[in-house]
Each structure stands twice: as C-alpha cells, then as structure tokens.
Chain A
Amino acid sequence: MSAAAPLTAEVLPAGLDGFIIRFALTPDPAAMVAARRFANRLEDEAPKGVTEIAPALVTVLVRFDCARTGRADRSALRARMEAMAQEVIAGPLDMPDPARRWTIPVAFGAANGPQLAQVAGAVGTSEEAAVRDICAADLRVLTIGFAPGQPYVGLLPEAWNLPRMAELNPSVPAGALVVAVRQFVLFGAESATGWQQVGRAAFRTFVPAREEPTLLQGGDAIRFAHATPAEIDTLEKGGDPMGGARLEVLR
C-alpha cells in the first residue's frame, strides 16, 4: 500500500473536547496508511492533555481534557497536530510494520459462507482460488468499530472492491466473516449487514467477562487460516472464545 496521489491533512474541531485529523473524505488506501501512521506516532508521543486517541479508517479522533485546556493550549495542540499530520503525509506512506500478528481459523463457503460463490464470481475467480487469496493476503486491522472489538480488516486487492449489497443480509451469526469494498468485517454478534458472508470463525471479538474484553487492536496484522467446518464447530463447542486463534508478538 503506497500513496499514488498527494494527500491532504485537515485538523477539524470535533465537539468541545476533540479534533478530528482527516486525511481524506473517502476510504482512500493511502489515507488509511496515513491515519494509522499518525495514530501510531501520537500514541508514542501523546501531547500533554490528550485523553484519547481513536483512529477510524482515514481519520483520527483526538480528545483532550477540556477543563484543563485553555484557549492557548488548544491552539498549541491544534498546531502540534497540524505539524504532525503534515510530516505524516510527506511520507513515507507504507503501512508501518505490525507489532502483533493474529492467525484466525475460518471455515469458508457453503453454510459457513453462503455468499462465497457469488463473491468469487464477482472477483472473477473460483471459490477455491478466492479462499486461497483470502488466506494468503497480508491484512491489517484498519479500525475497530460498529460494535466493541469488531474489526474492519483490509485491504484486499482492487478486484475485491465489491459494493455493499442493496438488500441487507438479514442475519449473519457471531463470527461471520463478511466482505465488501476490499475489506472484511468479523462480526462480534449476530447482526444484519449489507456485506456478503464468505466464512465463519469461532474467534469472538468481544467477551465482556474476559479481563481484556476486546483483543484486537488497530494495526494488528491478520492472517485467516483455512479450517474445515467440523474444526470450527469443535472450536465453537469447546467454548474458548479464542476459537483457535494464535497471537504472535512481532516487536
């Protein structure tokens, strides 16, 4: 993922106690890299008063302590964000090396991925080749949202730039792996969605009773590993919300 067109960066007020740093209005791949690089950098050297850093796809929300941030401090913080954002878009614009990698077993097709055939057709390949491509892709958690711990994972090659469906998928189960616009979402709970379901994992993205209720973090590398439906069923019945997922700490 490298930048093709020059990016812009805007620092915009968001509520009384925040800024949104925006690298694009649309889900531009280079802007996704910039947002991730900016968030990483901010996490490494958070300016005084910053209380929260939350990256979306192509924007980063920065919240600060409004009560302790006067006019001058607010201007200084804004200037700091602007300078940092300019440095980020000056490049390099490669996705930073991941700190961690997850390998998550997924069963594809048939009952576990009712729309795999349709998706493969739209991509212009066979079901087997589509699964092979998915499992070979070097993917990242682009952002987490919609529900706690629920990741947007990408980016797949351009051929996977599939539109959301006009008709909603009325219900996909927890663990559903759905695809659209070069991205996957791994659903944390049963949900309706306009994305197409290609697989199912036993990994659970949100377990309130767990010490860490959510495990995935923005920027984590993700590999999907091909599992049989029986393996996913066994993992699910085993009750371990990790669902056979493996975590490697890379740095």
Chain B
Amino acid sequence: MTALQITRADGILTVQDMGRPGHLAQGLSRGGAMDRRALLEGAALLNTKSPLAAIEMAGAGGEFSVTAPTRIALTGAPMAATLDDAPLRWNASHLVTPGQRLRIGGAQSGTYSYLTPAGGIATEPWLGSRAAHLSIGIGGALRAGDTLPVGDDPEPDRPSHGLPPEPRFDGGTIRVIDGPHTVLFSDAVLDAFYATAFRRGPRGNRQGLQLVAEARFGTEHAKGLASDMIGPGDVQMTGDGVPYVLMAECQTVGGYPRIGTVIPADLPRVAQAAPGAVLRPRRVTLDEALATARSEADELRDLSGRCTPLVRDPAAIRDLLSYQLVSGMVRGDEFDATWPHST
C-alpha cells in the first residue's frame, strides 16, 4: 500500500468521492465531491473505470509526497502546481516518485480543486463511501502531518495525459428546471429571477451557497409550508427572498420554498463560482434538460476519449540545451512533469 503524505495544508482539504446515495430516508444526504465532473476528469486522466476517492482542495492546496511511484491527476479549479520546482500542467496526470515534493498553490480561478492518486485514497469507507461529511462529523479536514493510505498505481508507467478543461470556473449561465414549488412563485417573481445576473455571495460552503442581487424573490406561500425533501441543485428561497443553491452536503429536508433546480450538468459551475462571480439562471424545460443529460458513466467515457498524452512544448523547457535530445532511451514520457529529475 502506498501512502500520500501531507506536509502542508493551505486550503480546506477533505477526502471526497462520489458520495453515499440511497440514505435520504435516514436523513443522510449523498455528499461527495462539490465538482463531480472534476472527479470524472481525474478518473479519465488516470485511465480508471470509475471515479476514485481524491483530495478535494477548497481555495488552496498544500504540499504532498508519496512513498511509492504513483501517478496523480490534478483537476477542477486550476491552481499553480509544481513537482520539485518544475511547473505541472493542470488538468493532467503526472508521475510522482518518492522524495519529490508536490506543491499546489492557491486557486487561480474557481474554488474546488482535486488531487487524485491513481490508486485512489484508500481510507476506511463508511456506508460505502470515503467522503468526508463535515456537518455530521464524518471524516474531517486534513492537516499537515496527516498520512493517507493510497491504493497502488496499477500502471505507473503510463505516460502523462492531458485533457482540455471544460470552462466552468468563472460563473456563467446555469440551467434551471422547474421543481415542485415553482408554481408557488408569481410570474412576475419568476420573470425577475430569470432576468437577474446574480453574484455568488460571500456565504457558501459544502451545504449550499448564496446568490446575491438587489432584488428579492419571495412568495406569499412560504409561511406554513410543510418541510419537504430537498437535494443538491435546489434553489431554496430563504425567508428574506434571497436564493441559496443547495450543494453536495445539504440537509435532506427543508422548509423553504424552492424556485427550481439547477440541472446536474451545471452544478459544477455553481460549485466553482468564487464569491463575486456572476451566475445567470436560465429556465429550461425538463425535456430540454433531459435531451442533453448524460449519465456519469457516459460522461467518463467521453472524457476518457478526449485525453491525450502530454507533449511538452520545447519552447517551455527552460534549459533545453542541457537536455540530451539525441542520446537514446526515448520512453515517450520524458517531457512529462518529472523532468528533469527523472534522469
């Protein structure tokens, strides 16, 4: 078993996977990664059949090392990453060997970044998932000095791969379908809601995040409403008419009216929006949403097909002249991130 050592934790670091679905009746929400697409991208880059448990890094990364050679994938919100001092491409996989220092800086845009080791984080699962669920005391924030067990990399010699990142880190349009409570809102409020460019508010965490605008979007039916089942993507209207988008770790029931639900495909965009980013809700019909919906398994297949081996641009290699270009032993992955320390 390989170990992943955390020598510094700068952001809020937690272990996350695709969560634990199926326990809503017991009051337990699915939880898991805030940006599920980033975990699928990690799996695609590492050539695994299903998403792995990864370290979710909110805001900033830290410093890491490994006890056995293992590939890692870096996905989600782009952060400046270096291996020893060589810059690493984001949205790519890289080999890390013992003794090397992997440094991951602050998010350049977006909020949630993911470090996925090729064997997956192998902590003890709880109800079939390794995801930390902070609000109920499952798992916790990782700290400097922590060591995580990691599955052995099944193919450490596989060359580094890259994947064009799907832009979702600076806000944008989010598609919203009607939900069970949409009819409780007047047409005027609905029209105003969908004509508003919201800013992602300062309040937000893994449970949900606030959308800020000058206008309020209340409904007279809010009072006396029975608590109902809620879930990620639901746009809950709090008592003062300020919307919150519910996220991965939301509660299972809530008493506020919900104006609609952000479709799963656009939830990563909401998760990644940093405070101040502009989010514009666009109302789509259920049929429109279903027409473009793909299962996560299909999404992983598509992403895998778009991964390509990393080829390093010679212009980006600082000391190209010192590099022995013609001395044989070409393996095909010299230009990956381990250069120049692998020789």
Where the two chains meet, the residues of A that have a C-beta atom closer than 8 Å to any C-beta of B are 10, 12-16, 18, 20, 22, 24-28, 31, 51-59, 61, 63, 66-67, 71, 143-150, 152, 189, 206, 208, 213-214, 217-218
Contacts and interface: CB of A to CB of B under 8 A. Distances in A.
Contact of A146 (B23, B27, B233, B263): B27
A78 to B, nearest CB: 11
A29 B174 CA distance: 38
B229 A20 contact: yes
B231 A208 contact: no
Contacts of B231: 14-15, 18
B25 A12 contact: no
B225 A25 contact: yes
Given A208-B138, A213-B127, A150 B180 contact: no
Interface string B207-246: 0000000000000010011111101011000000000000
A151 to B, nearest CB: 9
A208 B137 contact: yes
Given A51-B22, A147-B136, A57 B226 contact: yes
A52 B25 contact: yes
B26 A144 contact: yes
A14 B26 contact: no
B284 to A, nearest CB: 11
Given A13-B178, A148-B27, A56 B22 contact: no
20 contacts: A15-B179, A16-B177, A16-B264, A18-B231, A20-B180, A20-B229, A25-B184, A51-B21, A51-B22, A54-B25, A57-B228, A61-B229, A67-B298, A145-B251, A146-B27, A147-B27, A147-B251, A148-B26, A150-B27, A213-B26
Interface stretch (B52-60, B90-98, B287-295, B304-312): B287-295
Nearest to B261: A15
A180 B177 CA distance: 34
A18 B233 CA distance: 13
Interface residues of B, number: 41
Given A52-B21, A208-B126, A213-B28, 13 more contacts: A15-B177, A16-B293, A26-B224, A26-B225, A53-B25, A56-B229, A57-B227, A59-B229, A61-B24, A67-B298, A145-B252, A146-B253, A214-B27
B179 to A, nearest CB: 6
Contacts of A54: 24-25, 229, 252
B226 A27 contact: yes
A15 B251 CA distance: 16
A13 B86 CA distance: 50
Interface in B1-44: 21-28
A14 B180 contact: yes
A143 B179 CA distance: 21
Nearest to A70: B290
A119 B206 CA distance: 36
Interface of B: 21-28, 126-127, 136-138, 177-180, 184, 221, 224-229, 231, 233-234, 251-253, 261, 263-264, 286, 289-290, 293, 295, 297-298
B264 to A, nearest CB: 6
A55 B26 CA distance: 10
Question: Which residue among A18, A54, A59 has the maximum number of chain B CB atoms within 10 Å of its CB?
Answer: A54
Given A54-B24, A147-B27, A208-B138, A15 B229 contact: no
B302 to A, nearest CB: 14
Contacts of A66: 293, 295
A70 B237 CA distance: 31
A15 B252 CA distance: 14
A16 B24 CA distance: 17
Q: Which of A14, A28, A59, A145 has the most CB of B within 10 A?
A: A145
A8 to B, nearest CB: 13
A214 B26 contact: yes
Nearest to A10: B180
A41 B298 CA distance: 34
Which 6 pairs between the two chains have the least Cβ-Cβ distance? Answer: A145-B253, A67-B295, A54-B24, A61-B229, A12-B180, A27-B226
Contacts of B127: 213
B138 A24 contact: no
A145 B27 contact: yes
Nearest to B126: A208
A13 B177 CA distance: 9
A203 B150 CA distance: 37
